[in-house]
Each structure stands twice: as structure tokens, then as C-alpha cells.
């Protein structure tokens, strides 16, 4: 349990006024992490599996199957707390990590006091304030309030993008001001102050084989739901075809019983163009679709991060993204304006124009010719980099919490935890750049 981790940071030790050699002694200790996931499926499962596989820390994973998410949010804290209490020989955990699906306030109130006092980090994959609903009356704000109380109960709140954090906190304010009284608006400032941005990682995708001759291959890969806006994609494909351009089409992703009608129409209308269609049952099949694509298109109206597009880029596909949501962020558009070539304005005419330009370009040369390379940027999203950054953030959090506790006990007249935190992270609320990605 006392194996040495390989990473430490002099910055936080200097900010706290602690000799760096003292800080390293404590901070390089591998932590024992209790990870809680009431909905262990999909992106939540991939996130924990990827992090743990590349982490230097020791993990205990407690999960519930990914089924009936509303019930999981209702009972997950109770069920996991009961399971935890049933463990006869608990490891000496240092820190708790959970997802937004857990009611952390309830959970901390249901477990032994010694565990309830451990430092906690909640990771927001999504939130129930801005997660898209087809009709406004479908939104159940009890789940939104669960997200808020979880964020308030956590010591740190991690989001998978700045776009996600900012849109979530804005929606939370809009929600809370509707309260008749006692609206805890100051809690939103506290949540933002203790928030950090940590992008999820991806597994490296094998190098794509040499391209076989043939028309341009266009890929749309997303959940088959309305918020991914498939109607705009199919309309753009329809108009490109009317221009007489030659191309092939793959439309893949998770399918649902209630899916937009446009998929059925498109499957018939474009049957002679289709290479791949529907859910890919194995990782190898999915990767093969990505490697086969020349252009990967998103038309999403909703995206908290965009891991599917990162994977497509990792596989060598040329991204074509609406200039909205998290996409400018994950491609560092604000710091790399040359990446503007990977965006369209989000409307069908702009998408048609860019697809036409790329299809015509591909007739005589590579789509990547005279185009900025994104290979090094995409590489920073590999789990080897992301896990290292998040491991370090956990170690820093644990070390800071314990030093503050010990220092406050030994020197009760010295700085408060809030003062120390402000000096250690001067107003940023975000972790530092790691290999070119603002993590």
C-alpha cells in the first residue's frame, strides 16, 4: 500500500510556505481511493476503467449496474452506503471519488463518521439542469437539486469541460432565482471556487492502414437521439448529393427504441451510399469505422465534452464541427486560430459548403495538406496524460487537506483554509496546463 507515486508538485508546497522536501515526502505517497459509481455503464464506466488502468494510485471500486438512471440517483447513496457498512475489513482509504449520479450529501450522512470526513471529489460527466429534454415539462428538478447538493457537499467539483461548468452554473442560477425565498446563490460561488476542469481520456487507437482508393468517406458517430441533431446532418448529405458529388456514408452510434424518424428515412434514401450503419458491437468494429473515415462530422446541439470526436481525430479523420458547445475548447481554438478550418457556423448551408470543399479537395490531394496538424493535441487526450494529471490533482488535494488540518490544529491562530486555497490557486479554479491541454 505504500508504493511510491512518481509525481509531485513544488508549486502548491511553495504557495503554502512548506519546504518542498517535506511536501514531497507526503505528496508522493500513493493514495488509496474509494471510487463510487451508481451508474457503471457507458461513458461513466469508460472513464473509471481508463483512469484506474493508467493510475498510480490504489483503487477500490464500488458500483451499481447502469440501469434506470433516475432510480439510481434516488437510491444509489442508500444502497452503496449499506454495502459499504457491510465490508468487514475496510482498506485505509484516503479519499473518495464519485460521479454526479451519486447524492453525496446523503451518502456522507449514512456512512461511518470516520469515512464521512474523508476528502471528496465529484466528477460531473453531465448535469440534470442542462441535459437536453425534448419538452421543458419533462425536466424533474429534484435531480437538478441532487446535483447541486452533491456539488455543495464535495470538497472539489470536477467538470469535463469549461463549457460544461459555465453552462451548468448559469442554469443553476436561473433555477435557484425561481425559489420563493432562501435561494442559496452564494453556494454557486463556492462551487465555482472549488471547481476544476479535467478532460476525460481516450485509449490510443491503432494506426490506420493505407487508404484504399475510392470516394470520400463521411462519418457521423453519436447517440441516435434528437440532441445530436441528425436531421441537419441528413439534410446536408441530401444537398451534397444533389450537387452530384461522389462520397460514401457511415452513420454509427448507440441506438434507442425511441429514436428520431430521420434515421429510418435516411437508411432508405441513402442505402446505395452506406458503408456502416448502427451500433458497433465491439471496440475493434468501432475503431475500424473511425479508421475508415476521411471526414468526421458533428451536428450536435448538446455536448458536454465530445469524446467521440476526439477518438475520430485520433483515428486520423478530419473533424468538421459546429462552432459551439465544447468543441472550440477541446480544439484550443482560442489559442490556435488556425484550427478555424475544422469548424462551420453550425447551420446546414455552412456544413454543405465545407463538405463540398473537402470532397473536392480530396479528389486530388490529402485533406490534411496545407492544414494544421492536430496529432500532438489529440495525443494529450490519451489516458497516459490524462490519468497523470488527475492523479496529481488528487494527490495535491489530499496533501493540502491534511496539511491544512494539521497546521490549523498546531497553529490555531494562522491562516484559514480559504486563505490558503486562494494563495495556492490564485483565482483560476482550474488545474494547470498539461502537455498543451488546459486540463
Fold of 216-379: Rossmann fold (3.40.50)
Is residue 198 within 8 A of residue 386, CB to CB? The reply is yes
The 8 Å CB, 24+ separation contacts for 143-148 are 143/70, 143/73, 144/172, 144/175, 146/73, 146/103, 147/100, 148/172, 148/187, 148/191
Query: How far are the Cα atoms of 65, 131, 157, 192 from residue 169, in angstroms, in the given order?
Result: 29, 13, 12, 8
pLDDT tens sequence for the chain (439 residues): 333 333 333 333 343 343 434 333 344 469 999 999 999 999 999 999 999 999 999 999 999 999 999 999 999 999 999 999 999 888 999 999 999 999 999 999 999 999 999 999 999 999 999 977 766 556 788 999 999 999 999 999 999 999 999 999 999 999 999 999 999 999 999 999 999 999 999 999 998 989 989 999 999 999 999 999 999 999 999 999 999 999 999 999 999 888 999 999 999 999 999 999 999 999 999 999 999 999 999 999 999 999 999 999 999 999 999 999 999 999 999 999 999 999 999 999 999 999 999 999 999 999 999 999 999 999 999 999 999 999 999 999 988 876 555 545 455 443 333 332 333 333 333 433 333 333 3
Residue 50 CA to residue 52 CA, distance in Å, equals 6
Report DSSP state, residue 55.
-
Sequence spans of domains, the chain: 10-201+382-438, 216-379
Q: The cell 470516520 sits on which residue? A: 114
In CATH terms, are 10-201+382-438 and 216-379 the same topology?
yes
Q: Is it true that domain 10-201+382-438 has CATH number 3.40.50.80?
A: no
Which stretch of DSSP H or E encloses residue 402? helix 383-410
Amino acid at each position: 500500500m505504500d508504493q511510491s507515486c512518481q509525481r509531485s508538485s513544488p508549486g502548491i508546497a511553495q504557495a503554502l510556505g512548506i519546504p518542498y522536501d517535506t511536501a514531497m515526502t507526503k505528496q508522493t505517497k500513493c493514495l488509496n481511493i474509494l471510487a463510487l459509481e451508481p451508474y457503471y455503464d457507458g461513458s461513466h464506466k469508460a472513464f473509471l476503467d481508463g483512469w484506474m488502468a493508467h493510475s498510480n494510485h490504489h483503487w477500490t471500486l464500488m458500483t451499481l449496474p447502469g440501469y434506470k438512471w433516475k432510480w439510481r440517483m434516488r437510491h444509489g447513496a442508500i444502497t452503496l452506503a449499506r454495502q459499504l457498512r457491510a465490508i468487514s475489513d475496510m482498506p485505509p482509504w484516503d479519499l473518495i471519488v464519485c460521479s454526479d449520479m451519486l447524492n453525496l450529501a446523503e451518502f456522507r450522512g449514512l456512512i461511518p463518521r470516520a469515512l464521512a470526513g474523508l476528502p471528496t471529489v465529484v466528477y460531473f460527466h453531465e448535469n440534470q439542469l442542462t441535459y437536453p429534454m425534448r419538452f421543458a415539462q419533462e425536466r424533474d428538478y429534484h435531480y437538478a437539486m441532487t446535483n447541486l447538493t452533491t456539488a455543495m457537499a464535495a470538497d472539489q467539483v470536477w467538470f469535463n469541460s469549461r463549457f460544461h461548468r459555465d453552462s451548468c452554473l448559469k442554469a443553476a442560477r436561473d433555477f435557484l432565482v425561481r425559489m420563493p425565498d432562501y435561494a442559496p446563490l452564494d453556494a454557486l460561488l463556492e462551487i465555482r471556487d472549488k471547481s476544476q476542469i479535467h478532460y476525460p481520456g481516450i485509449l490510443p487507437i491503432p494506426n490506420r492502414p493505407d487508404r484504399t482508393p475510392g470516394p470520400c468517406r463521411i462519418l457521423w458517430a453519436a447517440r441516435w437521439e434528437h440532441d445530436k441533431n441528425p436531421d441537419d446532418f441528413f439534410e446536408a448529405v441530401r444537398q451534397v448529393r444533389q450537387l452530384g458529388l461522389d462520397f460514401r456514408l457511415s452513420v454509427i452510434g448507440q441506438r434507442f427504441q425511441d429514436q428520431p424518424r430521420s434515421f429510418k428515412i435516411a437508411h432508405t434514401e441513402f442505402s446505395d451510399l452506406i458503408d456502416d450503419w448502427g451500433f458497433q458491437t465491439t471496440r475493434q468494429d468501432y475503431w475500424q469505422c473511425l479508421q475508415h473515415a476521411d471526414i468526421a462530422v458533428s451536428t450536435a446541439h448538446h455536448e458536454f465534452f465530445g469524446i467521440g470526436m476526439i477518438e475520430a481525430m485520433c483515428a486520423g479523420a478530419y473533424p468538421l464541427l459546429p462552432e459551439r458547445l465544447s468543441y472550440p475548447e477541446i480544439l484550443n481554438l482560442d489559442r490556435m486560430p488556425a484550427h478555424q478550418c475544422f469548424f462551420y457556423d453550425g447551420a446546414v448551408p455552412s456544413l454543405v459548403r465545407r463538405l463540398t470543399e473537402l470532397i473536392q479537395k480530396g479528389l486530388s490531394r490529402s485533406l490534411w495538406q496545407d492544414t494544421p496538424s492536430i496529432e500532438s493535441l489529440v495525443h494529450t487526450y490519451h489516458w497516459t496524460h490524462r490519468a497523470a494529471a488527475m492523479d496529481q490533482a488528487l494527490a495535491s488535494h489530499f496533501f493540502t487537506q491534511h496539511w491544512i488540518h494539521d497546521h490549523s490544529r498546531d497553529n490555531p491562530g494562522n491562516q484559514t483554509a480559504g486563505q490558503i486555497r486562494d494563495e495556492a490557486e490564485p483565482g483560476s479554479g482550474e488545474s494547470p496546463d498539461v502537455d498543451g491541454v488546459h486540463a
